[in-house]
Amino acid sequence: MSKTEENTASSMSSRLTENETKISFLIKDIEDLSDIVARQSRELEQLTKQVSFLTQKETERDTSSGIVLGDKPPHW
């Protein structure tokens, strides 16, 4: 093998190693982001349930007290 061929092979090997390293970091980043999205999805679902529950309770409270949301207070 000539010197030029050795340099080319070495250069290709170096680039391949560099690309493999970058890919492994990207895979790790994607896995981390996937975990974050899954966690946020669970949190969003929980918060949506809480808001629904609180809205229902507030509607029940307003219905039982005779107050309609959007009504002006008596002093208006």
Each residue of 56-66: pLDDT tens digit? 998 888 777 76
Strand (E) positions, the chain?
A: none
Q: State how far the Cα of 68 lies from the Cα of 61, in Å rounded to an integer.
A: 10
pLDDT, mean over the chain: 88
pLDDT for residue 1 is more than 70: no
